[in-house]
Structure 1
Amino acid sequence: MKGTISDVTGLRVLETNFTSGKNKRRFSKPDGKPDFAKLAKLPTVLVAEYDQHPEVPVQIGFLQPPEFKVLDRSVYIPVFNASVLQAHPDLFGIQEGESRDTHWAVKDGSLFQKLNTLFKSNPELLQPPTATFNEVNPHKIAVMMPFKTEFHDAYDAIKQACQDEGFESVRVDELHDPVDISQQVLDLIRSSKYVIVDTSGHNPNVFFETGFAVGIGKKYIPLTSTPELRMPFDIQNTRFIKYDNDQNGRNKLKADLSKTLQTLKQ
């Protein structure tokens, strides 16, 4: 799978230059059109065209019907750069020209087995980067959440709970360094002791940031004010702090978060 999520239901699905005839027949309807119900059951590699941009992130998950514009991303499979795909084209069945051609292809073999092989032979992909990133601040907590106005008061409750337990909470919009904001988010997660993630409304950036935090071994505290929304498959059994986004609910959020932070300090 390549390209942005909004591209996936376009015409470039199961083209025979990148998908074998056998797989094309297997995942097509009798009329020759792609069978998206079957395709949705396959684990998917989502990455933008990376021929000239090997630094773009690679995500693993399942595309969600009916529109296939949302990737139910695995937060336990770390995000890695497309340079890894460039270095291992045979492992992933990547053919000449695929890295510069947006499409949805089906490859032979088990993706999870391929990833297992990759991570066993490249264990550094599962470890925190050792480059020039800030050392971990034991008193700092990164907060990943929607920036919408409706969550400002919830963030105030989070900040107060962190402060009460001796931590400084930091959200990326509070930083003003003249650097790339995407890199700033990752650096903030790396340099923090813990990460709080508020998945309210299923913000895709928050899920991406949760996956990155898990991938580098950070302990994270998940919150949500929309528990009725179905969580991604690999965090469905995680214990969330659930809150109502009103005054009483935010007071309870502050109390529950304080108790969780107290537990982590023990």
Structure 2
Amino acid sequence: MYNLLVGFYDNTATGSRVFEHTDQALVDYVRPAGTLDVNRVLSFPALVMPEIGDSNAPPVARVGRITNLQLIGTDYRFTFVQNPGLPALSTGRVASLATELGIGQWELNRTHWAIKDLDLYEVLLAAEGIRHLAPQVFSFPVEAPVEPDLVAVMMPFGAEFNPVYAAIKESVEGLGLRCHRADDIWENHHIMDDVISLIWRCRLVVSDLTSKNANVFYETGVAHSLGRDVIQIAQSMDDVPFDLRSIRTLTYLRNGEGLADLKQSLAARIQTLLA
């Protein structure tokens, strides 16, 4: 399944246009008992584009996902995050693939939000002229949904960092969210696959740059490339490389008082990002 959003420029979908051109079985699936199941909708990829022939917007369609979906009054507010593994394509190209994408006649000429019971990635990657941009040393789990309550932590492994992780975890869970490091899960044979999966699925990332750990730098770069919100922390600004110093970093001391301050600062920053 995938979300098709046509004509919504400001990340607001008018309630009366939501789930037009959508089979009733799909509407019932995302609205069990008449109430929208946000997690089900967020688990689908999204194709976002202007109406065909709209002179007020560039004729470009983008593929990615929607996050932060919430109902405000009669409208749905959301954030669109483009998939960096797929380039934008023209709205004309989408029109030429309308049948394959399950899009009906004139549907691209009306602002609306539909859900289609097709594999968006399978159709686009099979279409001639669309090149899939993918890393050579690992693969993105593009079919895995983003988990809006999941916070990923990238930090050096070692006993000396256990109190720091405990403080981060307490801060995150105090907000009703879940907190994981790669060593909390074992889903793949290679730990890097677990790291990539965690970054892909999470809502935001906390990166501890302390000790200039090369693995953490690498994982932070992946998170930035995927468009995740990244909260940088470090015990000293001397550990933050030049290219990352333009991004705000929470500094902390590794003692009782310092970790208590970290918990408060981190919670405040997370609340700001999720607001």
Q: TM-score, normalised on structure 2?
A: 0.49
Structure 2 counterpart of 1:172: 182
Paired residue for 2:242, among 227, 233, 245? 233
Q: Which moved more, 1:194-203 or 1:130-139?
A: 130-139
In structure 2, distance between residues paired with 1:222 and 1:165: 18
Structure 2 counterpart of 1:94: none
Structure 1: state its 5+ residue gaps. 1-78, 81-120
Structure 2 counterpart of 1:91: none
8 A Cα contact 1:154 1:245, kept in partner: yes
Structure 2 counterpart of 1:110: none
In structure 1, distance between residues paired with 2:141 and 2:194: 14
Structure 2: state its 5+ residue gaps. 1-83, 86-129
8 A Cα contact 1:133 1:191, kept in partner: no
Please give the secondary structure, in 2, of the residue aligned with 1:137.
coil
Deviation at 1:125, TM superposition (A): 5.7
Deviation at 1:234, TM superposition (A): 1.7
List structure 1 segments (4+ residues) > 6 angstroms apart after TM superposition.
none
2:269 partner letter: T
In structure 2, distance between residues paired with 1:133 and 1:185: 16
Structure 1 counterpart of 2:193: 183
8 A Cα contact 1:195 1:221, kept in partner: yes
8 A Cα contact 1:133 1:187, kept in partner: no
Deviation at 1:239, TM superposition (A): 0.7
Q: Aligned-pair RMSD on alpha carbons?
A: 2.4
1:234 partner letter: D
Kindly indicate whether residue 220 of structure 2 is the aligned counterpart of residue 210 of structure 1.
yes
Structure 2 counterpart of 1:256: 265
Matched length: 145
Paired residue for 1:150, among 146, 160, 175? 160
The percent identity for this pair of structures is 31
Q: Which moved more, 1:130-139 or 1:240-249?
A: 130-139
8 A Cα contact 2:204 2:228, kept in partner: yes
Distance 1:123 1:236, change over 3 A: farther
Q: TM-score, normalised on structure 1?
A: 0.50
Structure 2 counterpart of 1:35: none
Deviation at 1:237, TM superposition (A): 1.5
8 A Cα contact 1:161 1:258, kept in partner: yes
Whose strand fraction is larger, Structure 1's or Structure 2's? 2
In structure 1, distance between residues paired with 2:140 and 2:160: 37
Please give the secondary structure, in 2, of the residue aligned with 1:165.
coil
In structure 1, distance between residues paired with 2:184 and 2:226: 23
CA offset digits 1:62-90 (Å, max 9, x no partner): xxxxxxxxxxxxxxxxx99xxxxxxxxxx
Distance 1:237 1:152, change over 3 A: same
Deviation at 1:132, TM superposition (A): 4.7
